Structure 1
Amino acid sequence: MKDSQPPCTRCKKRGLPCTVNKSLQMLLESDSVWKEAIERKIHDLETGLTRVSDHLSLPTVNSASDEDEHDDDHRIAEPLRMPPPAQVSPQAEKHTPHNFEIVMDPDSGPAAIPGSVVSPVLMGGVEPDRAEHDVIRRGCVTLEEAQRYLDVYQNRLDHFLYRIIGDRRTLAQVRAASPLLLAAICAVGALHLASPAFEKCYEEFVAIAAAHTFSRRNTVDDVRGLCVAAFWLSSISWTCIAAAVRISTEIQLHRSIFKALTGDRTHYLRTRLYYLVYVCDHHFSIVFGRPPMTREDDAIRAAAQFLDTENAVEDDSRLVSQVHFWSVGSEIYATFGIDVERPLTRHMIEPLRRYGIKLDNIRADWTERFSYNKYVGNYPRKGVGLHYHFARLYLCSMAFRGIGQPGFKSSDVALDIDEIANSAILSATAILRAVVTDTEIQSYLNGLPTYFDVMIAFAVVFVLKVSTKYSSSVRIDSGETRQLVAELVSVLKGVTASMHPRHLLASVAHGAEKLLAKCSPQDLGPVPANAHITMSQPTFDEGLYDMSYAWNDNSFDNFYMGEFDFLSNQDTFSNFQPDLRYQSLPQL
């Protein structure tokens, strides 16, 4: 080109237009600028996707590692790629038909458990990055908030359930132990402190628990976390305890009793955790008409021996007293079943009396064994009395089975049924009077597990039903009964005024008030308010123990046949509007 200006000599001779192309250097410089811009965009995109996947607990997408970029000749950005099977994301483990193998154990003796010689051994999987599920790291709660929730849990709530987390721990120790346990403590603590963060903590716990569903590396602290949630978070209690029972069985907690009896502290802690799982399972199985998932195995039969070990403390005695109560409950459930339409017969009366005697003995044996507790006052002793009346009401309410059906209260059992029915009334009213008259018990209500709230609710429904639908076997002061329920409503409204609106007891208070209002004076008939009612023929309707029958056009589930849940009766309790998300939570 003349003077470095187009056209060039060649193009000029041929009469062609001449266009100057960029030099190779210019091309390389332009390509480098473009590549750097694309790398920045890809990095920003990866950062955004990581945040989204962390929030939704989805598998992460990894870019090329920094180790591959040490050589200038290889500084070209690699395309996004999924991790190989051996590097599963922290949020989910790979479950394929080929990531385990069966190992025949040559050291097993001829009396070994059959499945122990072909136990699956994991291959290719990695321990999930549990730090990714830490609610503090995820920004759901601050360190200060988490410390407050842990304090209220360890200084109060945990002592109602005989110390689920065992020895006292710092926040750092809880975080290191299990993100599931931390999330459960934060959710339960926020609920009982009426914190506005409860909703977020609750949803976070559900997400973390769901992410751990198929994990094969769960720990005893994960079981503790599920128990904490099951005892206090009513909406997901059954789901949580089902997962806890499964995991505790997988990690063989029920077999630790043998070494616990020899003084091994690790197995002592594992055994007491198994007892907690057993008690929690029975809280949400027997009283809801479900077969318990835990059985009367060696660990349960050795509960009394467990207290003789060198590691046992008073909290263990309280725990074992519960094991004894629920062991009898299991026998009652197995003996009488759940058919509420079948009247009691002659051969059922004597077993029922024997179970009543067992409950009496448990109450007598344990009530005076417990002393004042610096965290929960006289609850250890008073709790025995409440549990006794809960169990006694469950047992004696069977006197009303089959009422109105042919064969109900036949001549050979009439007097026995009268006696048993009156015992049910006494236990139900004892429960309500304990709440109404004992201010210390009232102070426990914002802390006791969900089971107490449910049994208080059932006692209310029971006494109102009996006082408005008379029976020849029951003598009851209807006016006094209504007054007792009215006083209970007043107490519950006062107690729940400072509670979180999602606390189950707040629903019970609203429900009891509505139910009392619907039990109008005309339902009591023309009988004077203070008269004792006795009638020659049973006039109970068939719905006494089948609450699915309409009572004043409102449906109630039978407490022992299905979930008796005030949250599900929105027509009846029009002033209470539950968050429907709590009715359709993801299953663990």
Structure 2
Amino acid sequence: MLKDRLDPAHRTTGIIGPKKRRPSRDSDVALESKRLRSKMDSVSPSSGTHLSANTNSSERSHRIPKISRKVHACTECQARKIKCDVNPPERSICTRCSKKKMRCVVNKSLQSLLGEGTEWKTTMEENTQSLSLAVSKILSVLDLPSLESFAAQQQNTQPQVQQAITRSVEAPASRPFRTSGMAMTRENSQEPTQSRASDTLVTDPMGALYEVTKLRNLRSNNLHRNGYVHAARPTILEDDFISKGKVSEADAEELFRTFSTSLNHYLWGGIALVHEDLVSVRRSSSLLLAAIFTVTALHVPGKEQVFDICYAEFTALVCDSMFDRYHTLDGIRALCIGAFWLSDVSWKLAGHAVRIATELNLHQSYSRAMRGSREHFEGARLWYFIYVCDHHFSIAYGRPPVIHEDATITNHEKFLNLPGISQADFRLHSQVSVFIILTRVYNTFGPDIEQVVAEEDLIRLRQFNHALDSWRLHWESQLTPNRFIATYPAKGVVLHYHFARLQVSSLSLRGIQQGGMHDLTIDRRDLANNAISCAASILQTVLDEPGIRNSVVGVPIYLHTMIAYSAVFLLKVQQKWKAYNLSADATLIRDLVMRIIRLLLDARAGERHLSRHIATGLSKMLDRFTSWEAGEKSRNLLVDSGGISQDEPTNPAAHMWEPNYAISDTGILRMFDSSVPFYDEHYFPLGFFDVMSAGQPDTEYRHRE
């Protein structure tokens, strides 16, 4: 009977008796697992080890692990061993859990997990491949290195970055010079598309060299072959000198607010600073942030300690930027801001800004902007900004400008016809226009300050003066008042007009020896008197025009150069050439210089601001001028009384009142070297237009302490 019941053939015939429930498949699996465990328990450890040691290694290598079955029931139904109708994703909750309002959870088997993992991996591979193709296409269009080269660069730079961080943590006060091997890395030769440079027949020689060698260090650091970088990677706010506690948040907000509402508008407003808040500047450029804080702290009384911190940070960042491959427009703005106000590094910063600008191809932005490219509008505007910065200091130091006159410069007024032009652009281009004239003067008469202007060339000086007259008429009426700096824009045109005419007219006296002064012609004398009149007009304009007088603290150092040059010119003319009846009034000169000194001393500015040093230097010069006048009066009394002959040589002591105003090539003032005396006549930046230095006696006044 038992055999028959176990025979499968009899199970289908229907046996009389109580119907037994057949075990489910899950229970069969459970029983089978129990039998296997009991067999394993009966095997001793030693025998298990013996069997394991004798197992064929080839069988182990080909053994395939079993995959668990797919789960068809939720955990609640599995626990009660009842049928479950859950079928995700079509049916996510079974009937029983829905009626009982229980949570229906289906535990995933290994098979389902592997299936989902394979599906996810396939999807990610497809997405990554699509993304890689898209990035490669972008890199080829932008003429950048292939995608594979960036991974190599990252691997090479990570140790260097870690070392730099370690050095900065160990020695935060010092910035070690970065020494590295010359980067002779080559671009990936398998480029998807031909570069646009290779499609052009006429290209720059360095571009041809790069096309042949594919050396990355031969390329410009711009993203566009003919464009420029708009922005670098965002600066980490937690890594700037504000977050490090060098400058407090309160000082930072105050300095930025002062710059944006005052100093920025003396740089034609909206060109040097395009950010609306401090956070935007911090994210954009640490160099720009340091430049703004440095020049602002220079102007604000009581911020000397902040100035020292910011100045050190700024100069360190400038040094770091010297060998950087990647630059931004904000970095160039930072260099120009520093050049306009930091007298000891102005020439160096201006030259550095020009170099970076040409690397970014800003000199080509004008032509593209005129052809309708809006992305090059800001680059063209910044190129004119750099042009003015360059010429401010080439004129002041008597050095040839770096940026030469080309179609971009001569046709600069066409730029004002583009949409988006503001009063800031009109003010800036008025400066471009006047420096075009002064540069032509420099190129016409050369840099030799001992070369006398020939009589037949005096007519050319008059022609340049007529050009300056036209310049004033054209621009003065176009500049409207500014709500931050009042009438300074239009009054600044008047000031620049007088200064330009002073420089042009004074060339009539260049190289003239004292012994030959009797031969002054009417034309030469007329030009000399015109120069004297312009110098006096500059000082009177500064003193009498509220828009200028209130701007003594705030204007760039070029206008302080105007004041210093005019005062020195008048004092020199009266001292050296009084005998030749030029229209120099000693009383008027003394009064103007005294009032200028008082104005500069009363100005509210930081201790290192240039106005204080100019006042100190002019005070010394005025004292010597007064002593010289007293000596001249005593000599005239002796001549009138017959004590000495009028033709008799002057007492050698009289030469003490004729200081030698030598041209200084060391700059205006070194801010941190206490061994350099305060701003005196030896540190005035008188270069090409310093007509008084040449041809004078070599006597030197030694100040008696």
TM-score of the two chains, using structure 2 as the length reference = 0.62
Change (3 A) 1:472 1:133: farther
Q: Distance in 2 between matches of 1:100 and 1:554?
A: 61
Q: Aligned to 2:327, what secondary structure does the other structure show?
A: coil
Q: Distance in 1 between matches of 2:661 and 2:436?
A: 28
Q: Distance in 2 between matches of 1:291 and 1:47?
A: 42
2:617–2:680 CA contact under 8 A, matched in 1: no
Aligned length: 480
**Deviation readout 1:19-74 (Å, 9 max, x if unpaired):** xxxxxxxxxxxxxxxxxxxxxxxxxx999854234442338xxxxxxxxxxxxxxx
1:447 aligns with 2:554: yes
2:461–2:504 CA contact under 8 A, matched in 1: yes
1:422–1:474 CA contact under 8 A, matched in 2: yes
1:515 aligns with 2:621: yes
Bigger Cα Rg: 2
Letter in 2 for 1:556: Y
Which aligned pairs between 1:119-134 and structure 2 lie closer than 5 A?
119=210, 122=216, 131=236, 134=240
Change (3 A) 1:298 1:121: farther
Match of 1:58 among 138, 158, 176: 176
Q: Aligned to 1:112, what secondary structure does the other structure show?
A: coil
1:502 aligns with 2:611: no
Q: Distance in 1 between matches of 2:680 and 2:533?
A: 31
Partner in structure 1 of residue 440 of structure 2: 331
Letter in 2 for 1:108: D
Q: Aligned to 1:295, what secondary structure does the other structure show?
A: coil
1:401 aligns with 2:510: yes
Q: Aligned to 2:417, what secondary structure does the other structure show?
A: coil
Change (3 A) 1:364 1:473: farther
Moved more, 399-408 or 246-255: 399-408
Q: Aligned to 1:162, what secondary structure does the other structure show?
A: coil
Q: Gapped runs of 5+ residues in structure 2?
A: 1-162, 190-194, 222-231, 637-645, 684-705
Partner in structure 2 of residue 417 of structure 1: 524
1:492 aligns with 2:600: yes
Q: Distance in 1 between matches of 2:579 and 2:360?
A: 51
1:432–1:456 CA contact under 8 A, matched in 2: yes
1:187–1:202 CA contact under 8 A, matched in 2: yes
Change (3 A) 1:572 1:248: closer
1:343–1:407 CA contact under 8 A, matched in 2: no
**Deviation readout 1:151-180 (Å, 9 max, x if unpaired):** 111111111111333434211111121111
Change (3 A) 1:114 1:105: farther
Match of 1:262 among 357, 371, 381: 371
Change (3 A) 1:300 1:523: same
Q: Aligned to 1:368, what secondary structure does the other structure show?
A: helix
Change (3 A) 1:519 1:450: same
Partner in structure 2 of residue 99 of structure 1: 185
Q: Distance in 2 between matches of 1:438 and 1:410?
A: 39
Give the CA deviation at 1:193: 1.5
Q: Distance in 2 between matches of 1:46 and 1:355?
A: 55
**Deviation readout 1:113-157 (Å, 9 max, x if unpaired):** 343334476379998995487222343212322221111111111
Moved more, 158-167 or 103-112: 103-112
Q: Aligned to 1:429, what secondary structure does the other structure show?
A: helix
Give the CA deviation at 1:361: 0.6
Partner in structure 1 of residue 382 of structure 2: 273
Q: Distance in 2 between matches of 1:438 and 1:106?
A: 55
Partner in structure 1 of residue 412 of structure 2: 303
Which aligned pairs between 1:133-172 and structure 2 lie closer than 5 A?
134-163=240-269, 164-172=271-279
Give the CA deviation at 1:261: 1.6
Q: Distance in 2 between matches of 1:433 and 1:478?
A: 15
Letter in 2 for 1:417: R
Partner in structure 2 of residue 83 of structure 1: none
Letter in 2 for 1:557: A
1:239 aligns with 2:348: yes
Match of 1:110 among 201, 205, 211: 201
Letter in 1 for 2:528: A
Give the CA deviation at 1:403: 2.0
Partner in structure 1 of residue 662 of structure 2: 557
Partner in structure 1 of residue 483 of structure 2: 374
Give the CA deviation at 1:211: 1.2
2:458–2:523 CA contact under 8 A, matched in 1: yes
Q: Distance in 2 between matches of 1:286 and 1:482?
A: 27
Partner in structure 1 of residue 536 of structure 2: 429
Give the CA deviation at 1:324: 0.4
Letter in 1 for 2:564: A
Change (3 A) 1:562 1:502: closer
Q: Distance in 2 between matches of 1:410 and 1:572?
A: 39
Q: Distance in 2 between matches of 1:174 and 1:388?
A: 35
Q: Aligned to 1:235, what secondary structure does the other structure show?
A: coil
CA RMSD in angstroms, aligned pairs only: 3.5
Give the CA deviation at 1:344: 1.8
**Deviation readout 1:450-509 (Å, 9 max, x if unpaired):** 1111221111111011112225261221122111211221122112xx311111111001
Change (3 A) 1:290 1:133: farther
Moved more, 429-438 or 562-571: 562-571
Q: Distance in 1 between matches of 2:429 and 2:277?
A: 27
Q: Distance in 2 between matches of 1:284 and 1:574?
A: 18
Q: Gapped runs of 5+ residues in structure 1?
A: 1-44, 60-91, 530-536, 542-549, 579-588
Give the CA deviation at 1:218: 1.1
Q: Distance in 2 between matches of 1:403 and 1:312?
A: 47
Change (3 A) 1:166 1:116: farther
Q: Distance in 1 between matches of 2:477 and 2:635?
A: 42
Aligned-pair identity in percent equals: 32
